[in-house]
């Protein structure tokens, strides 16, 4: 498996964990849960987004049209 794909999956896993934490805190609402929502949940989503950008940045710098080419090939 490609290193970029592994890093992207890892970043999306962090985002998913953050969204699960946010969902859990919304279901059991209290002042402590708001703190967990704002700090842990939002922090994990932001960190996962940052990891996603960092993992995709080198490949996009090498070939800025990679996403368009991959999309065109998927249509065939």
Tens-digit pLDDT profile for residues 31-41: 999 999 999 99
Contacts of 4 (CB under 8 A, 6+ apart): 55, 56, 58, 59
Q: Which pTM value belongs to this model?
A: 0.74
Residue 65, pLDDT > 90, answer: no
Banded model confidence at residue 3, pLDDT cuts 50, 70, 90: confident
Residue 64 sits at φ, ψ, to 5 deg, of: -65, -20
Region 45-49 average pLDDT: 94
């Amino acid at each position: 498996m490609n290193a970029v794909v592994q890093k992207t999956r890892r970043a999306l896993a962090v985002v998913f964990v953050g969204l699960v934490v946010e969902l859990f805190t919304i279901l059991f609402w209290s002042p402590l849960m708001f703190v967990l929502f704002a700090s842990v949940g939002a922090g994990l989503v932001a960190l996962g987004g940052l990891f996603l950008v960092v993992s995709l940045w080198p490949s996009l710098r090498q070939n800025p049209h990679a996403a368009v080419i991959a999309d065109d090939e998927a249509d065939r």
